[in-house]
């Protein structure tokens, strides 16, 4: 079974307007509401690809109930922990002449509720996969991902981590199956400017040397680079299309990679499907559908590069 963890899920309230005027009344042209959170996005795309998963995390209040109800209607399995205080955050995403985001804070998570999450994770066994993605709420210890991975040592669970800078660097000693920084995050980690694919591969290999088994670097319109546990380097292009929504594209890539690898045991095929999923979501107003993903697969070319 695949499990995803979303510690701080959200309702994404996406609004469109022609020109945002600060300090004035603005009339929107369209609006949509989506259950959001990186792990939840991974679960959603996995479902489209035919893989069941269980979404773990914390929810609270009316907004948490909306998220659970929305996922239930989509047929996604959830095992959320209910919090008594506050409400699950609401993120406002304004799409106008520029994109603006206003993200909520989220409720407090106490030790009792955190231990309930640990108890669920302790039940994972060999053959399971766990996706840890997104930020850690301020009310929780920043070492949470490390603590989770310590509990899974010697259980042969495939752990995927999609997080920023220190959260990612700190888990490397626990040898995650896959990490997925983007090229900008890679630059930030090593305080460098990446000027070529060779540069990206070089620093991705450094992350592998620090403990990650596989390193997948997303590069937006320039595709993606994968350094595998055998130290092979693969590069993929991206499909052609108009970017409508960047939210969830990276999560879709993670879901596609997991699905592709579990289906074929091939890192090349995993990269190909992951890239197609990321592109399909970027070209959609919501997460990609299976039909759209499959229509883009023929455009994705994966090549091995020797560095």
Same domain as 120, residue 43: yes
pLDDT in tens, 72-94: 999 999 999 999 999 999 999 89
| Any domain includes 171 | no
Which of the 8 DSSP states describes residue 221?
Answer: G
| Any domain includes 142 | no
* Residue that is last in its domain, among 96, 129, 162: 129
Asked if residue 146 has pLDDT above 90, the reply is yes
* Residue that is last in its domain, among 129, 161, 193: 129
Query: Which pLDDT does position 244 carry in this prediction?
Result: 84
- Taking residues 85-104, report their average pLDDT: 90
| Any domain includes 288 | yes
Task: Tell me the β-bridge partners of 61.
Answer: none
Query: Which pLDDT does position 95 carry in this prediction?
Result: 86
Asked if residue 245 has pLDDT above 90, the reply is no
| Any domain includes 155 | no
Residue scoring higher pLDDT (191 or 244): 191
Whether residue 251 lies in the annotated active site: yes
Range of the domain at 202: 177-307
* Residue that is last in its domain, among 129, 162, 189: 129
Same domain as 181, residue 123: no
Query: Which pLDDT does position 97 carry in this prediction?
Result: 86
What pLDDT band is residue 192 in, cutting at 50, 70 and 90?
very high
| Any domain includes 46 | yes
Pairing relationship of beta strands 53-60 and 77-78 according to DSSP bridges: parallel
Enumerate residues 6+ apart whose C-beta is below 8 A from 16. Answer: 28, 29, 30, 31, 95, 96
pLDDT in tens, 120-134: 999 999 999 999 998
Query: Which pLDDT does position 138 carry in this prediction?
Result: 85
Asked if residue 152 has pLDDT above 90, the reply is yes
| Any domain includes 136 | no
Which of the 8 DSSP states describes residue 222?
Answer: G
How many domains would you assign to the chain? 2
Set 12, 128, 162, 251: catalytic member: 251
Same domain as 284, residue 220: yes
- Taking residues 224-248, report their average pLDDT: 92
Contact present, 258 and 52 (Cβ < 8 Å): no
| Any domain includes 140 | no
Same domain as 97, residue 203: no
Pairing relationship of beta strands 158-162 and 178-179 according to DSSP bridges: parallel
| Any domain includes 152 | no
* Token pair for 270: 């995993």
CATH of residue 258: 3.40.1190.20
What pLDDT band is residue 59 in, cutting at 50, 70 and 90?
very high
Which of the 8 DSSP states describes residue 160?
Answer: E
Asked if residue 306 has pLDDT above 90, the reply is no
């Amino acid at each position: 079974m695949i499990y995803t963890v979303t510690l701080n899920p959200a309702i994404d309230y996406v609004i469109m307007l022609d020109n945002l005027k600060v300090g004035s009344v603005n009339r929107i042209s369209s609006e949509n509401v989506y259950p959001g959170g990186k792990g939840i996005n991974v679960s959603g795309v996995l479902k489209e690809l035919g893989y069941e998963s269980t979404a773990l995390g914390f929810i609270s209040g009316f907004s948490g109930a909306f998220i659970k109800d929305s996922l239930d209607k989509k047929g996604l399995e959830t095992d959320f922990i209910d919090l008594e205080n506050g409400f699950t955050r609401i993120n406002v995403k304004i799409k106008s002449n520029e994109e603006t985001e206003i993200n909520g804070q989220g409720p407090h998570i106490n030790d009792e509720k955190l231990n309930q999450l640990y108890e669920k994770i302790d039940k994972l066994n060999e053959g399971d996969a766990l996706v840890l993605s997104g930020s850690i709420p301020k009310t929780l210890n920043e070492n949470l991902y490390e603590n989770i991975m310590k509990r899974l040592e010697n259980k042969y669970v495939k752990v995927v981590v999609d997080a920023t800078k220190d959260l990612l660097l700190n888990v490397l000693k626990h040898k995650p199956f896959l990490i997925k920084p983007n090229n900008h995050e890679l630059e930030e980690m090593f305080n460098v400017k990446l000027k070529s694919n060779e540069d990206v591969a070089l620093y991705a290999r450094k992350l592998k040397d620090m403990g990650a088994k596989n390193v997948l670097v997303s590069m937006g319109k320039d595709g993606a680079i994968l350094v595998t546990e055998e130290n092979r380097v693969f590069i993929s292009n991206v499909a052609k299309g108009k970017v409508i929504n960047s939210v969830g594209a990276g999560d879709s890539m993670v879901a596609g990679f997991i699905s592709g690898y579990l289906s074929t045991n091939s890192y090349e095929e995993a990269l190909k499907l992951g890239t197609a999923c990321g592109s399909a979501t970027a070209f959609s107003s919501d997460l990609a559908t299976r039909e759209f993903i499959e229509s883009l697969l023929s455009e994705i070319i994966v090549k091995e590069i020797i560095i």
